[in-house]
A and B are shown apart, each in its own frame.
Chain A
Amino acid sequence: MKMETSDEILVDRAQAGDGDAFGQLLERHYDMILRLGYRMLGTQSLAEELAQDLCCALPTKLGSFRGDAKFTTWLYRVTMNAAKDYLRKQRSRENAQKGWGDMFELQQHDASEKANDRAWLAQAMTVLPPDIRETLVLILTEDMKQAEAAEVLGVPEGTISWRISEAKKHLRALAQSEEAYP
C-alpha cells in the first residue's frame, strides 16, 4: 500500500514554492472547504464563491502557517474566518444575496417534508449568530469534540459549551414563536 504524503510535508513543500504540492493539498481539502462554506452560508453558489476566494488567497495565507497546529485545524480556522467575513459583508450589502435567508423564503411554499426540513434549517441558521453557527457546524457536522472546536476557533473550551447552550436557547425561542404563529 502506498503511504499518503502527510499534509505537513505538502505544506512544507508548498511554502518552499512547490506548486504541485499546493495543488495536491487543495485537491485533498477542497470538499471540506466547500462543505463548511455551504453550511455556514446556505447556498451552493455562495459556498463556491467562498471556496474560490479562499483557495486563491491561500497561497499568501499559507505563509502565516507556522506548523504549531495541525494543517487541518489551521484550514478549518481559516475557512471559518472567511465564512464569517462573508456573512459580515453580506449584512452590509443591503438586499444582496442572503444565503440561508433566501433559502428560507424560497422554500416556504414547497410543501414536501424534505423541503419543510430545509426551510426549518434555513430559519434556524438565520436566527443563530455567526459565532454560534460556526460552533454548531464544527461540533454537529464535523464531529469535533469541544476541545477541538475550541482550538480551531481560538476560544476557551468553556466558550464552546456556552455557545451550545446559547444555541439551545435560540432554538427554543424559535420553537415557541412557531407555536405562537404556526
Chain B
Amino acid sequence: MSDKLDRLEAALKAAKPSANPDRKAEILTLARKSFDAAQENATQPRPTHKSAQNVPDIWTGVKDMFRSINLRPVLYATSALCVGGLAIIITQPFTVGPMGLTDSFNEAETASLEKRQVSEKLKSKADEGAWNSTAGATVEAKVKPKKERISTLSDSLSQDASRPAVSAPAPSAIVAGKVRRVISAEEVVQPVPQQSNESFSNDAPNPLKITNQDPVSTFSIDVDTASYAYIRSSIEGGMLPPSEAVRIEEMINYFPYDYLAPDISEAPFSTSLSVFQTPWNTNTKILHIGIQGAKPEIDNRPPLNLVFLIDTSGSMQAQNKLPLLKQSFSLMLNSLRPADKVAIVTYAGSAGTVLEPTSADQKGKILESLNRLSAGGSTAGQAGLQQAYSLAEKMQSDGSIGRVLLATDGDFNV
C-alpha cells in the first residue's frame, strides 16, 4: 500500500511554488514595516482591574522572607509583630469603608474582629515567651474554618514546616492568613458592580458576505444610540461594561455626521458613499454608506401639547432614575416655545395630575411641580395612562400636535 504514499510523495515534491522575487520583496518589506511598528508598540497591554489583581505576589514574598530567617527567636518576635500590625491594617479600610457593602463587608468585619481577639491572645502568649506548638494549633483550628483559602495556604506552609529550621507552622499560617485578608480587603474596596437588572437581547452578528456572489444587503433605518451612553457611564464609573452592552452600530449612530439632507420633493432620503483603506488591513477597503432621511421642519412646527406621564413608584428612587429624569426634563423645557403646553401626570400607588396644562413659558411653575415629585409606593400604570390620555384629550386643539410621553423603569402594573 505504500506505493500510494510514494506516489503522493513524488507528486507533493513536484508541487513547488514558483519563485516570485517581486512578491517576495514586497512581502519582506511589509514584514519589516510590521517589525518596526511592533517595536514602537512594545508597551505592556493596558492594565485592567483583572490584570491588576495578578500583580501582587505578596504571598511568595512572605514565604521567601520566612525561609531566609533562621533564628527562632527572631521569627517569634516578628510573627507576633506582624499579627498585631496586620490586624490594625485590616480593620481600618472597613471602618471608613462605604456603606452598603453588605455581605462581604460584614463577613470581613466579623472576621477581622475575631482575628483581633485571636491576635491579642497570641500576643499574651508571646509575652509569656512560651509560644509552644500546642497554642499555635488551637489558634490555627480557630482560624482555619473561617476561609478555605487560609487552610490551603497553611497546607502549603506546613511543607515548609517540615524543614527543621522553621518549627512554628501555626503562627506562620496565621500570618499568611492575615496577609491574604489584606488583599481581599482591597478587592472589597474596589467599586462593587451595582445591582443591575439591565438585560440585553442581542441578535447574532451578521456573517461575512461575499459581495460579488451575494450583493443584496439590507439594514434597518431606525437609529438607536443608547449603547454609547451606557458604555460611557459604565467606564466613567470605573467598570468595564458587559460585552453585550457594546453595540457598534449604536456607537456609530450616536454621533451626528452632517450628511447632506435630501430634497424632500425628490427622495425621502439621500445617500453619501465613500471608500477608504481599511486602517488595520492593507488588503481590504471599507465602503461607508451614510443615509440621511428628510429632516422634519422644526422652525415652523405646530404647537405641542405634551402630557408627561411619570412613574413615581418606589423603584424610581435611584439616583439615575427620577432625579435624572427631572434634570433632563428641565433641560428639555428650554427648547419648548410659549405656544406649547405641558402637563404632568404621575402614578405610583394611584394616578394623579401634578400639573394642569400649563403654557411652556411658565417655567417657574413647571419646575416647581417637577421638583415636588418624589418616588415611593407601588405602580398603577394603567390608571396613570387613562388619566394622561383624558388630559391630552382635553388639551387637544386644531393644528397642534398632542403627545403623551411615558417615563418609567419597567414593570407596568404592580
Interface residue ranges, A against B (CB under 8 Å): 14, 17, 19, 22-23, 26-27, 30-31, 34-35, 37-39, 42, 44, 47-48, 51-52, 55-60, 93-96, 117-118, 120-121, 124, 136-137, 140-141, 164, 167-168, 171-172, 175
Q: In the complex, what residues of A have CB within 8 A of residue B14's CB?
A: 117, 121
Interface residue ranges, B against A (CB under 8 Å): 1-2, 4-5, 7-20, 23-24, 27-28, 30-32, 34-39, 42, 208, 210, 213
Instruction: Tell whether, in the assembled complex, residue B12 and residue A48 are in contact, meaning their CB atoms are under 8 Å apart.
Output: no
Using known A-B contacts A22-B35, A39-B12, determine if residue A30 contacts B5 with beta carbons closer than 8 Å. Answer: no
Instruction: Tell whether, in the assembled complex, residue A140 and residue B31 are in contact, meaning their CB atoms are under 8 Å apart.
Output: no
Can you name 25 A-B pairs with beta carbons within 8 Å?
A22-B35, A23-B31, A23-B35, A26-B32, A31-B19, A35-B17, A38-B15, A48-B23, A51-B27, A52-B27, A52-B30, A56-B31, A58-B31, A59-B35, A59-B38, A59-B39, A94-B210, A118-B15, A124-B11, A140-B9, A141-B13, A167-B5, A171-B1, A171-B8, A172-B1
Q: Contact partner of A140 among B8, B24, B27, B37, CB < 8 A?
A: B8
Q: In the complex, what residues of A have CB within 8 A of residue B10's CB?
A: 117
Q: In the complex, what residues of B have CB within 8 A of residue A23's CB?
A: 28, 31-32, 35
**Chain B residue with Cβ nearest A38:** B17
A136 CA to B14 CA, complexed, in Å: 14
Q: In the complex, what residues of B have CB within 8 A of residue A94's CB?
A: 210
Using known A-B contacts A22-B32, A38-B15, A96-B210, determine if residue A48 contacts B5 with beta carbons closer than 8 Å. Answer: no
Instruction: Tell whether, in the assembled complex, residue A140 and residue B5 are in contact, meaning their CB atoms are under 8 Å apart.
Output: yes
Instruction: Tell whether, in the assembled complex, residue A48 and residue B27 are in contact, meaning their CB atoms are under 8 Å apart.
Output: yes
Instruction: Tell whether, in the assembled complex, residue A44 and residue B27 are in contact, meaning their CB atoms are under 8 Å apart.
Output: no
Instruction: Tell whether, in the assembled complex, residue B35 and residue A30 are in contact, meaning their CB atoms are under 8 Å apart.
Output: no
Q: In the complex, what residues of A have CB within 8 A of residue B15's CB?
A: 38-39, 42, 118, 121
A172 CA to B5 CA, complexed, in Å: 10
Please give the distance in Å from B44's CB to the nearest CB on chain A.
Answer: 12
Q: In the complex, what residues of B have CB within 8 A of residue A42's CB?
A: 15
Please give the distance in Å from B237's CB to the nearest CB on chain A.
Answer: 33
A19 CA to B320 CA, complexed, in Å: 54
Q: In the complex, what residues of A have CB within 8 A of residue B12's CB?
A: 39, 121, 136-137, 140-141
Instruction: Tell whether, in the assembled complex, residue B11 and residue A117 are in contact, meaning their CB atoms are under 8 Å apart.
Output: yes
A136 CA to B2 CA, complexed, in Å: 13
Instruction: Tell whether, in the assembled complex, residue A121 and residue B8 are in contact, meaning their CB atoms are under 8 Å apart.
Output: yes
Instruction: Tell whether, in the assembled complex, residue A140 and residue B13 are in contact, meaning their CB atoms are under 8 Å apart.
Output: yes
Using known A-B contacts A55-B28, A56-B34, A59-B31, determine if residue A47 contacts B11 with beta carbons closer than 8 Å. Answer: no
Q: In the complex, what residues of B have CB within 8 A of residue A93's CB?
A: 208, 210
Using known A-B contacts A55-B30, A55-B31, A140-B13, determine if residue A48 contacts B20 with beta carbons closer than 8 Å. Answer: yes
**Chain A residue with Cβ nearest B6:** A140
A140 CA to B4 CA, complexed, in Å: 12
**Chain A residue with Cβ nearest B2:** A168
Using known A-B contacts A35-B16, A95-B213, A118-B15, determine if residue A124 contacts B30 with beta carbons closer than 8 Å. Answer: no
Known: A22-B31, A58-B34, A172-B4. 12 other contacts (CB 8 A): A19-B35, A26-B32, A38-B15, A44-B17, A44-B20, A48-B17, A48-B23, A59-B35, A93-B210, A96-B210, A121-B8, A121-B12
**Chain B residue with Cβ nearest A133:** B12
**Chain A residue with Cβ nearest B37:** A59
Q: In the complex, what residues of A have CB within 8 A of residue B13's CB?
A: 140-141
Q: Contact partner of B39 among A17, A26, A30, A39, CB < 8 A?
A: A17
Instruction: Tell whether, in the assembled complex, residue A121 and residue B32 are in contact, meaning their CB atoms are under 8 Å apart.
Output: no
**Chain B residue with Cβ nearest A170:** B4
Q: Contact partner of B4 among A26, A56, A141, A175, CB < 8 A?
A: A175
Please give the distance in Å from A40's CB to the nearest CB on chain B.
Answer: 10
Using known A-B contacts A39-B15, A48-B23, A168-B5, determine if residue A30 contacts B28 with beta carbons closer than 8 Å. Answer: yes
A166 CA to B28 CA, complexed, in Å: 37
Q: In the complex, what residues of B have CB within 8 A of residue A30's CB?
A: 24, 27-28
Among B4, B11, B17, B32, chain A packs the most CB atoms within 10 A around the CB of B17
Instruction: Tell whether, in the assembled complex, residue A118 and residue B11 are in contact, meaning their CB atoms are under 8 Å apart.
Output: yes
Instruction: Tell whether, in the assembled complex, residue A27 and residue B11 are in contact, meaning their CB atoms are under 8 Å apart.
Output: no
**Chain A residue with Cβ nearest B29:** A23
Q: In the complex, what residues of A have CB within 8 A of residue B42's CB?
A: 17
Instruction: Tell whether, in the assembled complex, residue A26 and residue B38 are in contact, meaning their CB atoms are under 8 Å apart.
Output: no
**Chain A residue with Cβ nearest B209:** A94
Q: In the complex, what residues of A have CB within 8 A of residue B19's CB?
A: 31
Q: Contact partner of B1 among A117, A120, A168, CB < 8 A?
A: A168
